[in-house]
Amino acid sequence: MLNILRIIGAVGTIATGIISLVRPLSVTGFTGLKPDGARGLSEIRAVLGGLFVASGAAVLWLNDPAAYKTLGFAYLGTGIARLISIVIDESRDTSNIISLVWELLFGAVMVV
């Protein structure tokens, strides 16, 4: 069951990446990012798009426990940084809380 959840997480990472790569403006409302021109769009496509697609695909392709753990630690690190931001910046938007929960749960599933 845990392996199925890991695969779902990797596929979800790829799906998020594809959406961000193909339709970068569609993620701005959820992420709170406001790209300023072509350079900003390029950053969304590269980081939220390309990096997510490559990370999720690498985990599935390698199919190695260390790869799953590496992606899990990346999500845990992101979640911890987001939690710090929620406290310091008082950024308690629903989308930020959803992201936090996803990152911590997915990270934990991948690392176990």
Condensed to tens digits (0 to 9), the pLDDT of residues 45-73 reads 999 999 999 999 999 999 999 999 999 99
Angle at 92 (CA atoms; ends 87, 98), nearest 5 degrees: 110
Residue 18's CB is within 10 A of a number of other CB atoms, namely 14
Output the pLDDT for position 91: 93
Output the pLDDT for position 11: 98
Q: Binning pLDDT at 50, 70 and 90, where does residue 19 land?
A: very high
Mean pLDDT, to the nearest integer, of 8-17? 97
Q: What is the pLDDT of residues 25-50, one digit of tens each?
A: 999 988 989 999 999 999 999 999 99
User: 74: Cβ–Cβ under 8 A, 6 or more apart, which residues?
Assistant: 55, 107
Output the pLDDT for position 109: 96
Output the pLDDT for position 87: 97
- Alpha-carbon dihedral of residues 58, 63, 66, 68, nearest 10 degrees? 70
